[in-house]
Chain A
Amino acid sequence: MTQPTLLSTTELSIGYNNICVASNVTLTLAGGDVLAVVGHNGSGKSTLIKTLLRALPPIKGELNWPNGRPEPIAYLGQRTDFDSQFPIRVSDLAAMGAWPKLGFFHKIDDECRTRISAALHRTGTSEIANMPLNKLSEGQLQRTLFARTMVQNAPLILLDEPFTAIDQDTETELLSLIGDWATEGRAVILVLHDLSAVLKYCNLALLLGDGQALFGNPREILAPRNLIRHKYLSKSRVDWMHDMYAQGGGKIV
């Protein structure tokens, strides 16, 4: 079953303060798609996410939302400005996902409460629901933030480097959760560094780098020649890996 297109861009240029960091971003996204954004530091990954969130205007071109801009767009950003010392419980942080809809005055109703406890259960944080934030480990905190993202109940979900400082097991669990979101018909855009995870869990990839963008099937996009051209890997490094691969008789490890 093909889902209707959610978002499309043609030759979009993104940047900030009128400095273009990536141009020719052409992509199409439908419900159920998982799009990985890959690129070197400063290639415009976070800039793209911020442009989608309207925090930054596009420098050239525009974002087309054929069925209207979804409300809300769920977002899980990098944790640089996050205050994990704030006196609040895990369940309250998850409930924060309902805030944009609740606005100033509405109460959390039964339907919302069910969604919150389902999200806590799915992310494995039910047991720690009453713990204060500052007692959490990195992994527990990230699970809680995934619960908040679920509570947002959004058709489009943006995740900016969600697996930094997270152990491998948690990462695998959360990646399977992202797979479930796609099955539910939600579209997910996530910034990733783990290329094997891109091949395994994403059906689309956007490679940013050197001011340019390449969009398509992950297996084609992440070919070594593309990674070199977009400055994600250096030529010498790929050559070295190739050598080691040949030396090991087709096995690196």
Chain B
Amino acid sequence: MTCMHKEAVKLFEWLDYAFMIRALCATTVMSFSIAPVGAFLVLRRLSLAGEAMAHAIVPGIVIGFVVAGLSVVSMVIGGLTAGIAVAALTSLLARKTIIREDASLASLYLTALALGIFILSAAGSAVPLKSFLFGSILGIDNQTLGLIGATTTITLVSFSIILRSLITDTIDPIFHESQTRHPSLVTQWFMFLVVLNLLGAFKTLGTLMAVGLMILPATAARYWTSTITSYLLLTVSFALFSCWVGLIISFYLTEVPSGPAIILVAAAVFFFSLFFGSHGFCATRWIFKSQTTNSVYTRKPPQFSKGENT
């Protein structure tokens, strides 16, 4: 009896540590905002742009640290400034020079990442490089919790306002442009949310991993769903699952930073979905076979989505 009791205590050992509770709270709240933002990054085919943006904000954060010390305010101001500057510079380069947007984005973010790490190392910051790049569950203080809470609130309120515009603009940008006077407003607002969420995730996941929690749950959920509501709900669930399991792994294997642990769990979910999802590899192969006898173009199409919304 006592033996079993001891085992149970050991299993939930991480619950006794305040930093673990803090990290769990932080990632739980964060999942509700970073996952839908990531979902739209994937839907808008901006996954790589999000990745680039995550690296591009690094020098802003580092300069904020060096100039104003280790505070959330300096991080947010530095990160937002760098993010907006890179976004503006990218579209300027793409419009005014021969280089396309992807190439200019790649050139800029590599420069930015190198610059950030250079300044961080040269200035001898108090933040260890490993936790800067890959995150640390020990790094979540009250200020960070506050930042994550604010980010999630701003993101969810924004989504409740711009969701219709955002969906319309994603499916049919030409139609969206024709029906509103300020078509680029929703795009800019969305990019602002992306940067804000990257900053929120920065402490737990690190600059190199933050974007992974946006992209992987969103790509995994894409293999299961065919309506936007179920898609968004599933991305949040996948993000929550990845964060919880990843954090516990990182707790027991103390040398493993939290970022890679969380992202690897998300990646496992992704590969599982890739093979076994209802739109995944196995299912589409099966549908492809059945199509030879039952064409999709017949008047009464087979109901592929059946059961999915129930």
Residues of A within 8 A of B (CB): 53-55, 72-73, 75-78, 80-83, 86-89, 92-93, 96, 99-100, 102, 104-105, 127-128, 130-135, 137, 158
Smallest Cβ-Cβ distance to B279: which chain A residue:
A134
Inter-chain contact A99/B164, CB cutoff 8 Å = yes
List residues of chain A with CB within 8 A of the CB of B164. 99, 102, 104
User: Given the complex of chains A and B, what is the CA–CA distance between A131 and B302 in angstroms?
Assistant: 9
Q: Tell me the interface secondary structure of chain B in the complex.
A: helix
Inter-chain contact B177/A55, CB cutoff 8 Å = yes
> With A99-B168, A135-B296 in contact, do A77 and B301 touch (Cβ < 8 Å)?
no
Smallest Cβ-Cβ distance to A49: which chain B residue:
B178
Min C-beta distance of B190 to chain A, whole Å: 15
Inter-chain contact B175/A72, CB cutoff 8 Å = no
List residues of chain B with CB within 8 A of the CB of A75. 174-175, 178-179
Min C-beta distance of B119 to chain A, whole Å: 39
Inter-chain contact A72/B179, CB cutoff 8 Å = yes
Inter-chain contact A131/B301, CB cutoff 8 Å = yes
User: Given the complex of chains A and B, what is the CA–CA distance between A171 and B226 in angstroms?
Assistant: 28
Inter-chain contact A83/B226, CB cutoff 8 Å = no
Inter-chain contact A87/B226, CB cutoff 8 Å = yes
Inter-chain contact A100/B179, CB cutoff 8 Å = yes
**Tier of interface size on chain B:** 20 to 34
B222 at interface, CB cutoff 8 A: yes
List residues of chain A with CB within 8 A of the CB of B225. 87
Smallest Cβ-Cβ distance to A53: which chain B residue:
B178
The residues in B between 217 and 259 inclusive whose CB is less than 8 angstroms from any CB of A are: 222, 225-228, 230-231
List residues of chain A with CB within 8 A of the CB of B172. 77, 81-83, 96
Which 5 A-B pairs rank lowest in CB-CB distance, beginning with the nearest? A132-B226, A77-B174, A75-B178, A100-B179, A53-B178
From the candidates B173, B179, B228, name the one contacting A87 in the complex (CB within 8 A). B228
B310 at interface, CB cutoff 8 A: no
Inter-chain contact A127/B300, CB cutoff 8 Å = yes
List residues of chain B with CB within 8 A of the CB of A99. 164-165, 168, 179
Smallest Cβ-Cβ distance to B183: which chain A residue:
A55
Inter-chain contact B227/A88, CB cutoff 8 Å = yes
Min C-beta distance of B236 to chain A, whole Å: 15
Residues of B within 8 A of A (CB): 43, 161-162, 164-165, 167-168, 170-175, 177-181, 222, 225-228, 230-231, 296-297, 299-301, 303-305
Smallest Cβ-Cβ distance to B172: which chain A residue:
A82
Other 7 A-B pairs with CB < 8 A, given A53-B177, A75-B179: A53-B178, A76-B175, A77-B175, A81-B173, A82-B174, A137-B296, A137-B297
Inter-chain contact A127/B299, CB cutoff 8 Å = yes
User: Given the complex of chains A and B, what is the CA–CA distance between A88 and B171 in angstroms?
Assistant: 9
Min C-beta distance of A206 to chain B, whole Å: 19
Min C-beta distance of A116 to chain B, whole Å: 15
Min C-beta distance of B165 to chain A, whole Å: 8
List residues of chain B with CB within 8 A of the CB of A105. 161
User: Given the complex of chains A and B, what is the CA–CA distance between A54 and B181 in angstroms?
Assistant: 9
List residues of chain A with CB within 8 A of the CB of B175. 75-77, 96
Inter-chain contact B228/A83, CB cutoff 8 Å = no
From the candidates B171, B177, B222, B305, name the one contacting A131 in the complex (CB within 8 A). B305
User: Given the complex of chains A and B, what is the CA–CA distance between A88 and B303 in angstroms?
Assistant: 14
Min C-beta distance of B123 to chain A, whole Å: 44
List residues of chain B with CB within 8 A of the CB of A96. 167-168, 171-172, 175
Min C-beta distance of B175 to chain A, whole Å: 6
Inter-chain contact B170/A86, CB cutoff 8 Å = yes
User: Given the complex of chains A and B, what is the CA–CA distance between A132 and B181 in angstroms?
Assistant: 29
List residues of chain A with CB within 8 A of the CB of B231. 87
From the candidates A53, A86, A158, name the one contacting B43 in the complex (CB within 8 A). A86
Smallest Cβ-Cβ distance to A55: which chain B residue:
B177
User: Given the complex of chains A and B, what is the CA–CA distance between A158 and B177 in angstroms?
Assistant: 14
Min C-beta distance of A131 to chain B, whole Å: 6
List residues of chain B with CB within 8 A of the CB of A53. 177-178
Could you jot down 5 A-B contacts, CB within 8 Å?
A77-B178, A80-B174, A83-B172, A88-B228, A99-B164
Inter-chain contact B171/A93, CB cutoff 8 Å = yes
User: Given the complex of chains A and B, what is the CA–CA distance between A137 and B226 in angstroms?
Assistant: 16
Smallest Cβ-Cβ distance to A82: which chain B residue:
B172
Smallest Cβ-Cβ distance to A124: which chain B residue:
B299
User: Given the complex of chains A and B, what is the CA–CA distance between A54 and B178 in angstroms?
Assistant: 8
From the candidates A81, A89, A104, A134, name the one contacting B162 in the complex (CB within 8 A). A104
List residues of chain B with CB within 8 A of the CB of A134. 226
User: Given the complex of chains A and B, what is the CA–CA distance between A73 and B180 in angstroms?
Assistant: 11
List residues of chain B with CB within 8 A of the CB of A100. 179-180
Inter-chain contact B301/A132, CB cutoff 8 Å = no
User: Given the complex of chains A and B, what is the CA–CA distance between A87 and B173 in angstroms?
Assistant: 16
Smallest Cβ-Cβ distance to A89: which chain B residue:
B227
List residues of chain B with CB within 8 A of the CB of A127. 299-300
From the candidates A73, A78, A92, A130, name the one contacting B305 in the complex (CB within 8 A). A130
Smallest Cβ-Cβ distance to B163: which chain A residue:
A104
Min C-beta distance of B229 to chain A, whole Å: 9
